[in-house]
Amino acid sequence: MPGPVPFLLAAALVVAPPASLEESLLVAAPEIRPEALHAALSSWEALAERGEVTRPIVTVIDYGLPSRTKRLWVFDLAERRLVFHELVAHGKSSGEDLAISFSNDEGSFMTSLGAYVTGEAYEGKNGYSLRLRGVDPGRNDHAEARAIVMHGAAYVDDEVGKALGRLGRSHGCPAVRPSVAKELIDEIKDRSLLYAWHPSLTTAGS
């Protein structure tokens, strides 16, 4: 009669439960704050249930980080992988290297936080650009009227950051490096989620 299975072999035979989506993405992007990712995934789930987002792509921007750090992540939820990790600018009236003020108001030149559904890509005055529809009432739902879009900008550049102590700033748009703008926009366009997060949202209960 065979003896007992050695303890180490028995332990090896125990199959670990599969990691959750959130856990997998945190492994893929260890620099992202768990609170930012959790808020974005919760928003994506709610919007997907309502049929407002239809693609398993989530873009997370952590505006609590300095502008000179890569604070934009694009995730493919179906593949559980990181697609982009990039620099992104904030609005000129939101702050210097750190964004500290946010607004939904026309003419504020500030970034608006919260959930955006991506729209179509188009050629505009800033080149290849992406329409964004803010879906959080009172927080970012004036985005379309304010012409808040994603676009490439020469001031989103490491050398600019070194010279100024911050990236250049937009009129409220999440501007990215020109060399990556088209590829990034094509990845996230057409009803995926872009979530602009800041630690103040956690204290506000969002």
pLDDT level of residue 19 (50, 70, 90 thresholds): confident
Model confidence pLDDT, tens digit, residues 26-69: 999 999 999 999 999 999 999 999 999 999 999 999 999 999 99
Threshold 0.85, pTM exceeds: yes
Structure tokens at 22: 């959130």
**What CATH superfamily is the domain 19-203?**
L,D-transpeptidase catalytic domain-like (2.40.440.10)
Whether residue 8 has pLDDT greater than 80:
no
Q: What are phi and psi of 29, to 5 degrees?
A: -135, 75
pLDDT of residue 10: 47
pLDDT of residue 95: 98
pLDDT of residue 14: 53
pLDDT level of residue 205 (50, 70, 90 thresholds): low
Cα distances from 26 to residues 73, 77, 114, 143, 198, in angstroms, run 11, 12, 20, 29, 18
Q: What is the mean pLDDT of the chain?
A: 93
Instruction: Count the Cβ atoms, other than its own, within 10 Å of residue 174.
Output: 26
Stretch 195-206: mean pLDDT, rounded? Answer: 82
Whether residue 15 has pLDDT greater than 70:
no
In DSSP terms, which residues pair with 124 in a beta bridge? 127
